[in-house]
Structure 1
Amino acid sequence: MNSEDVLTSLPSELLAQIFKHGTTSSSTLITYSAVSRHWRSTALTPDLWSSINVSFSCRNPAALIRVSLERSKSCLFDITLALPDPVHMPVVTSAMLLVVKHVHRLRRLAISATSFSSTPEEVFGLLQNAQRAPQLVALQLSFMDRNPHLIMGIPQGSLLMQAPMLSSLRLHGVTSPVPFVGLRSLDIQGLRTTYADFRDMVIASPLLTVLILPKLRLMFDLQSKALSPIDIPSLKTLALSFCKPHPSNELFTCHDLVSLLSVPNLEYLEIGGANVPDLAKSFQNNDFTKLRTLRLSNVSFSGRQFEVENCQFLRSLTAVEELELIHSHAEFLLPTAEKQKERLEVVGRRPRTRSINSRDIGGWSYFVGPVLASRKPPPEFESSSSTLIYPNLHFISLDTFIASETLWLYRIVLERPEIQLVKLSPMAQRHLKTSLGIMDGVLQTQPHLHLKKLGDPEIASVDVGKLLRERVAVQEIDNEGFISDVIFSPD
Structure 2
Amino acid sequence: MVQVDAERQQRLTYLRNKANDLRTTERQLCLQLAQVRESLSSVCSEEAEITNLSTPVSSLPNEILGEIFRYTKDSYNVDNIPDVVVVSHVTRHWRNVALSNPSLWDTIRLNASNPSMDLPIAFLTRSKPCTLDITLAVPDYVPMSSLRMVSVLIPHFGHIRRLVIECGDNEQVVQQLIESLTDFHAPSLEHLEISLELGDRQDSALWGERVRIFSSGAPLLSSVALKGISLRCCNPPLGTITHLSLDSDGDGTMLMPYDYFREALSACSSLIWLELRGRLFIFTLSNTAIRIEIPSLVYFAVGYPIHYRQDHYIRSIFETISAPALRTLSLNYMHRQTLQVAVDFVQSHQLYPMLEHLRLEEPAVECITADFIRSTASVTHLTLIYVGGIPRKMAALAPLLRHKHPPATPADALWPRLHTLSVYVFDEVFLRDLITTRIAIGAPLVTLRIESGTYDGLRPDQIEWCRARVKVESVDFDL
| Greater relative contact order structure (CA < 8 Å, 6+ sep) | 1
1:182 partnered with 2:182: no
CA distance 1:124–1:158, shift in 2 (3 Å) = closer
User: Of Structure 1 and Structure 2, which has the larger fraction of its residues in helix?
Assistant: 2
- Secondary structure of the residue aligned to 1:200 is helix
1:423 equivalent to 2:449? Answer yes
Structure-1 residue corresponding to 2:188: 135
Seen in structure 2, the aligned counterparts of structure 1 residues 286 and 399 have a Cα distance that, compared at 3 Å, is same
Counterpart contact for 1:172–1:189, Cα < 8 Å: yes
Q: 5-14 or 185-194, which moves further after superposition?
A: 185-194
CA contact (8 A) 1:120 1:152 kept: no
Deviation at 1:72, TM superposition (A): 0.6
1:159 aligns with 213
Give the distance between the partners of 2:259 and 2:403, measured in 1 at CA: 48
- Cα distance 1:209–1:201, how it changes in 2: closer, same or farther (>3 A)? same
Distance 1:393 1:189, change over 3 A: same
Does 2:342 correspond to 1:279?
A: yes
- Say which SS state the counterpart of residue 34 (structure 1) adopts: coil
CA distance in 2, matches of 1:3, 1:61: 36
Q: Which residue of 2 aligns with 1:367?
A: none
Write the distance in 2 (CA, Å) between the matches of 1:151 and 1:393.
48
Q: How does 1:161-240 map to 2 (within 5 A)?
A: 161-165=215-219, 166-177=221-232, 180-190=238-248, 192-216=255-279, 219-220=282-283, 227-240=289-302
CA distance in 2, matches of 1:4, 1:480: 45
AA paired with 1:180? L
Distance in structure 1 (CA, Å) of the matches to 2:211 and 2:280 = 25
Is this contact kept in 1: 2:298–2:325, CA < 8 A? yes
* Greater Cα shift, 4-13 or 176-185: 176-185
Q: How does 1:44-443 map to 2 (within 5 A)?
A: 44=99, 45-53=101-109, 62-84=117-139, 86-89=140-143, 92-116=146-170, 119-124=173-178, 126-128=180-182, 131-148=184-201, 150=203, 153-154=206-207, 157-165=211-219, 166-177=221-232, 180-190=238-248, 192-216=255-279, 219-220=282-283, 227-243=289-305, 256-275=316-335, 276-283=339-346, 285-301=349-365, 307=367, 312-314=371-373, 316-327=375-386, 331-332=394-395, 334-335=397-398, 341=404, 385-386=406-407, 388-400=413-425, 405-417=427-439, 418-429=444-455, 432-433=458-459
Question: Considering only CA atoms, is the larger Rg found in Structure 1 or Structure 2?
Answer: 2
- Contact 1:219 1:254 (C-alpha < 8 Å) held by counterparts: no
- Structure 1: how far apart are the matches of 2:313 and 2:352? 28
SS of the aligned residue for 1:466 comes to: helix
Are positions 1:35 and 2:90 aligned together? yes
Report the residue type matching 1:185 in the other structure. Answer: H
SS in 2 for 1:463: helix
* 2:11 aligned residue: none
Matched residue SS, 1:422: strand
CA contact (8 A) 2:365 2:394 kept: no
- Indicate the RMSD between aligned Cα atoms, in angstroms: 3.7
State the alpha-carbon separation in 2 of the partners of residues 480 and 410 from structure 1: 25
Q: Deviation per CA, 1:421-477: give whole Å up to 9, x if none.
A: 2221245335641xxxxxxxxxxxxxxxxxxxxxxxxxxxx7212222233332222
> How many residues are aligned here?
397
Residue in 2 aligned with 1:377? none
Instruction: Say if 1:89 and 1:476 are closer, same or farther in 2 by CA, change over 3 A.
Output: farther
In structure 1, what is the Cα distance between the partners aligned to 2:134 and 2:332? Answer: 29
Any conservation in 2 of the 1:87–1:118 contact (CA below 8 Å)?
no
Q: Can you give the 5+ residue segments of structure 1 that lack an aligned partner in the other structure?
A: 342-383, 434-461, 482-491
* Deviation, structure 1 residue 111: 1.2
Shift of 1:210: 0.8
Could you say what secondary structure the match of 2:278 adopts? strand
Query: Which segments of 5 or more consecutive residues in structure 2 lack a partner in the other structure?
Result: 1-50, 76-80
In the alignment, the residues of structure 2 paired with residue 321 and residue 53 of structure 1 have an alpha-carbon distance, to the nearest angstrom, of 41
Q: 2:55 is paired with a residue of what secondary structure? A: helix
Q: CA deviation at 1:211?
A: 0.9
